[in-house]
Amino acid sequence: MDVVEAFYLIPKVHIGITNNITDLPLTLHCKDKARDDGVHTLQYGEVYHFGFKTDIFLERTLWFCLFTWNGESHHFDIYVAKRDECPNCNWVIGKAGPCKVLDNSNENCFPWDDKAQHEIQETKKLLIFNTTTQQEPSHSLEPLNSQGRE
């Protein structure tokens, strides 16, 4: 088997995300470490689909999304290789968090990743503070010499 044949054997995952937030548009932005799927807005009941090939050797494929509506923002890892063993992963997004739709019409619901959200909010506050006060960062970076040493 050559490299081209091996590439076609790598499984592809399809993700479906449904907006279940009544009467509010849901904006989502999903990406992994190398690819950005862009920003998409869904009306209530609408579904957005995207897909990608997984890393079958190391089982470390990870896709994460930012979900925003009505001034709220939340993060969630929408696909984690070790957690999500599904070729077609369907998610329903509600105010309380995302729910993965299982084969038997049940759902497995998760909380939002509030830790990631808190870190982002703190970073935004720091950037806004430094921009509005025009202060230098609390630590300074010293240049390195040509060999990469101080």
pLDDT by residue (tens digit) across 44-86? 999 999 999 887 666 678 999 999 999 999 999 999 988 998 8
Long-range contacts made by residues 108-116, C-beta under 8 angstroms, separation at least 24?
110/76, 112/74, 112/75, 112/76, 113/74, 113/75, 113/76, 113/77, 114/74, 116/75
What is the set of domains in the chain, with CATH numbers?
A: 3-133 (2.60.40.10)
Residue 150 has pLDDT above 50, yes or no: no
Question: Phi then psi for 73, rounded to 5 degrees?
Answer: -135, 135
H/E run at residue 37: strand 36-42
